[in-house]
Chains A and B, each alone.
Chain A
Amino acid sequence: MRPKKLDKFLLNLETEPTEGLNRRIAALIGKAAKQSSGTVFPAVALWRRIMLSKMTKVAAVIAIVVVCILAFNLFDRTSSVTWAGVIEPLLKAQTVAFDVITSDRGMVSRTRYVNQEGLVRSRQEIDTGVGKAINIFDFDRSLRLTLSPEKKVAFFTDVQTESPTQVHIGPIRELVTKIQEDPDFTIEQLDDQVIEGQSAIVFKAVADNETLTVWADAETLIPIRLEKVIQGQSVVLSNIRFDYDVDLSLFSMDAPDGYSTVQGQLDLTDLSEKDLLEGLRVWAQIFGDGQFPPMLTSMALMMQIPAYKQRLAEGTLVLTEQQKLDAGNQITKLMTYIGEMQPQQDWHYVGASILFGDTEKPIFWYKPIDSETYRVIYGDLCVKDVSAEELPR
């Protein structure tokens, strides 16, 4: 007996099910779906939603092509196609909604992003411990609505930017693309872990000095947690959900009943050193009560909000609603300006606890592009050009 010959024989037996059976099975599954809890797994619901829309079909095809290309690249690098499968929802996330929680030093902000039924918006809720702030951003109109439930004030800001404003998932998508375009990028599958109570497979992608770690549900391979580390700074996105039933009213750009409104503009184009200096002044004088902050991060600002509110309540700091909005916008300009600096600009902030007006102590320095010297900013916001050898130690 030669079993291999029998195997060949058996291949001749191949029998196709009839269309009748195909229909019976489809009906069976459809009936089961109706009887189930109504839960349709996100990827499938997403797929259906994508394919229902003419516009998004194009996006879906592009996403598939990207994933295929990515899969090929990864095979070349001795990794597996699984990475491509894991990041697929990230790349397809143009038509899904999801929650992101970022946390740092006990501060938590919850971000929702939606791109459905013609709305491309994000909603970020920040709880400072003494109050809540809500930011809703309309990406189509580049319009930001900031709600202060405590004061019942709605701040509308027309934001002018050179590059599209993004919430966390946007930069993550860019990072995925950037990493896979890097000729030296590597993908490593780490040991399985239990994360947020779920068994997860873990991938770590590294390119240059940027790292993206993805934890994916071990059964479904859907990402449940992401961590990106760029130049030593880490952002963790957790509690991620793709394609959940989102309440679109949460993304309304109308001021709630009973709210007073304040209109403003935020021009983030053509930012310069002047915006950096003004941002540092506002931060120290208004939010820091005369002191420069420990770090130039949004979380550092949040840590100062309780004391800032206390001064407003006591009357030691008096600002109109418009001035408050302008102050916040100035900080946004500062953060945007340093966020757009190139790595070779080598910026450093050393202003922690330095008093505003100090003429001796430097608080910040950086190297303008194509410059041989550094710009050093002191506590009184004077600026001096110095060589690298003369930089403060």
Chain B
Amino acid sequence: MAWLQTRALVGRFNKGDVYALQEIYDLHKKDMMTLAASLMFDKSVAEDVLHEVFVKLIGLQGRLRIKNMLRGYLLQAVANEARTMNRARARKESADKGKFSCRRADVDSPDGCAERTEQHQRLTAALGELPYEQREVVLLRHYGQVKFKAIAKAQGVSMSTVQARYRYGLSKLRSLLGRDL
């Protein structure tokens, strides 16, 4: 009955209980942070993404409508915010020519190395090789369980484009990770 719990939580929030957001955050912070970090490759930027998502959620009080699962909605919101932030950064870092630059220094920081497995590092590096849009589609589809139709709507492209990005993304990952995948 997760959908009923979601409905109750969102209902409470819409009826004036902003503290329902705290419960939403506690329930989904790890998933949201994981997606944001995987998209942005910068933990501090990822945290800015989450902060912005919650600023916008507060603005939706009284009119937040969740059609399906709250987790999917939140992960989509993270992806949207990350995309916006990424575009802004891409414009600033013109040298990247629209392609997101993976901040290896952050990904492979000493702290991160100590905590992460080799497999993790390889996957992170491989994801970093994907164009941003492909990475977003792969992560949303696999990690967020978000439907292609919803991703297409969020990215403002056709469903066939999203499916193509997904195929290319998986193909690239397979070529990078080889037998591991």
Contacts and interface: CB of A to CB of B under 8 A. Distances in A.
Interface of A: 1-3, 5-7, 9-10, 12-18, 20-22, 24-26, 28-29, 32-33, 36-37, 39-41, 43-44, 80-82, 85, 217-221
Given A6-B181, A44-B17, A26 B22 contact: yes
B7 interface: yes
Contacts of A25: 22, 25, 29, 50-51, 54
A219 B47 contact: no
B113 interface: no
A36 B18 contact: yes
B18 A32 contact: yes
Contact of B18 (A20, A21, A33): A33
Contacts of B7: 218-219, 221
The 5 A-B residue pairs whose C-beta atoms are closest, nearest first, are: A219-B11, A41-B17, A39-B16, A15-B37, A21-B47
B58 A32 contact: yes
Contacts of B119: 9, 12
12 contacts: A1-B170, A10-B123, A13-B34, A13-B37, A13-B38, A13-B120, A15-B34, A24-B51, A25-B29, A28-B55, A39-B17, A43-B12
B47 A18 contact: yes
Interface of B is mostly: helix
B115 to A, nearest CB: 10
B15 A41 contact: yes
A219 B15 CA distance: 9
A12 B61 CA distance: 34
B68 to A, nearest CB: 16
Contacts of A21: 29, 33, 47, 50-51
A301 B7 CA distance: 45
A12 B123 contact: yes
Interface in B134-181: 138-139, 142-143, 170-171, 173-174, 180-181
Contacts of B94: none
A10 B47 contact: no
Nearest to A221: B8
A316 to B, nearest CB: 55
A17 B21 contact: no
B99 interface: no
B117 interface: yes
Interface in B35-55: 37-38, 43, 46-47, 50-51, 54-55
Interface residues of B, number: 49
Given A21-B47, A220-B15, 9 more contacts: A15-B30, A15-B46, A17-B29, A24-B51, A81-B1, A219-B10, A219-B11, A219-B14, A221-B4
A220 B8 contact: yes
A97 to B, nearest CB: 18
Contacts of B90: none
Contacts of B17: 39-41, 43-44
Contacts of B120: 12-13
Contact of B181 (A1, A22, A36): A1
Contacts of B19: 29, 33, 40-41, 44
Contacts of B5: 85
Interface in B106-123: 116-117, 119-120, 123
B85 interface: no
A1 B22 CA distance: 38
B124 interface: yes
B20 interface: yes
A33 B19 CA distance: 7
A33 B134 CA distance: 38
Contact of B16 (A17, A37, A80): A37
A14 B61 CA distance: 29
Contact of A82 (B4, B16, B50): B4
Given A28-B54, A44-B19, A14 B30 contact: yes
B138 to A, nearest CB: 8
Contacts of B124: 13
A14 B31 CA distance: 7
A368 to B, nearest CB: 49
Contacts of A10: 38, 123, 139, 142-143
B160 to A, nearest CB: 19
B35 to A, nearest CB: 9
Contacts of B1: 80-82
A41 B181 contact: no
Contacts of B139: 10
